[in-house]
A and B are shown apart, each in its own frame.
Chain A
Amino acid sequence: MPKRGAFALVMTMLAVVLLLGFRTPADIAAITGGDERPGVTGSVGTTGVTTDGATDGATDGATAPPAQKQARTVTGPVVSTRWGTVQVEITVDGGQLKDVAALQLPGGDRRSASISSRVEPTLRSQALSAQSAEIDGVSGATYTSVAYARSLQAALDSAGI
């Protein structure tokens, strides 16, 4: 699916960028082209990407960040794809990739967000387990919605959207 392909490309680029070392605030400003660093209003699932060092995405002019002591967010480059632009912001904590947020998606609006230093990711996750719990109803994908999703994806692919 084109959308996921584009996103995978961005993730790979970010992993390479991080392994190359620290980025200075000036680099980040140049890449994002903005005065303000957008906060994260949404996220994607956690991944297994491990980075060697925390990088500093702060715009407060700090130079060397405390090594791997605090969570840091890094705004990735704006990647142009044939389906539009993709930009992500990642949160790195203790040398591990903790969170990824999509700042721009093809066809989507760039979400404005309040500027704040986030301590925790907005997205949480845990391993899938099974519950046998007292419930009043169940929501789940049915054959109809599955077929619709498949068709939609295939149509998007074939239409190059």
Chain B
Amino acid sequence: MGTTVSIDVREPLVEPAVVDDVVAWFHDVDARFSPFRPDSEVSRVGSGELALEDASPDVRAMFTLADELRERTGGYFDPRGHRTDRRPDPTGVVKGWAVDEAGAILRLAGARNFQVVAGGDLIAVGEPEPGRPWRIGIRHPDREDRVAGVLRVRDRAVATSGLYERGAHIRDPHTGQVPGGLRSVTVIGPTLALADAYATAAFAMGDPGIGWVDGQPGFAAVGITAADRVVWTSAAHEMLDLDAAVPET
């Protein structure tokens, strides 16, 4: 998938073979789902070579989930939107789901405190050390060595969608203007499959996206606006640590 995955397991540790299993899982997902592999099931379904009903259960489930999410987000998460041929493609939700499943593998092996990160989206389970939550920074849009805020989470998925480059904004074709909107959206929720899809959808919605996430039970959102403000829902308030801010010089 071209995505870097990192696995961070704290006490109680698991056998190294378990981590190997997680790695193998991600390779398996890549082999079956990658749209960049012509022989993946997703590619073969897309080309018509493989009927969806003949694909493996996971693949069918992902196509179904992607369609459900398209409905739920009013089309702002679109399983076909990034393909020029407009064929269904569940890729946008597969990464999060794969991470959720990796978490299940670790839990079944006895892990209680761990983090699995895939391309800037992650699950943070348990505690990094006894008595404190995981501290997950939200990437600063302008400064690679800084974060815009810190989320304190236990047993949550965190996903971020965004555009950091200034001057590269999509122009509204109807006004010719660069709209206001968001530079990034970070969604916190119980599963990464949904958090990632919601972050993608919310970002595409622009400013109302933060409010839209707020309407999804169990999900919180933090946004960075084009006007350089950090915006967050009331559900995110208790998680967000903004006290450690460094004054801009």
Binding site for B on A (CB under 8 A): 1-5, 7-8, 41-47, 84, 100-102, 105-108, 111, 122-142, 144-157, 159, 161
Contact = CB atoms under 8 A, between A and B. Distances in A.
13 contacts: A1-B179, A3-B205, A41-B215, A45-B231, A108-B212, A123-B214, A127-B229, A129-B247, A136-B134, A137-B124, A137-B134, A139-B159, A144-B3
A152 B139 contact: no
A42 B173 contact: no
Nearest to A158: B173
Q: Which 6 A-B pairs have the closest CB atoms?
A: A107-B74, A42-B211, A140-B139, A4-B179, A141-B162, A151-B82
B207 A129 contact: no
Contact of B211 (A43, A125, A132, A148): A43
Interface residues of B, number: 90
A128 B229 contact: yes
Interface of B: 2-3, 8, 73-78, 80-82, 86, 92, 115, 117, 119-122, 124, 128, 134-143, 145-151, 158-164, 170, 172-175, 179-182, 184, 186, 199-200, 203-208, 210-215, 223-225, 227-234, 237, 241-242, 244-248
Nearest to A151: B82
B136 A136 contact: yes
Secondary structure dominating the interface of A: mixed
Contacts of A142: 3, 119-120
B136 A135 contact: yes
Contacts of B138: 138-140
Contact of B214 (A3, A7, A41, A127): A41
B210 A43 contact: yes
B137 A133 contact: yes
A123 B143 contact: no
A130 B175 contact: no
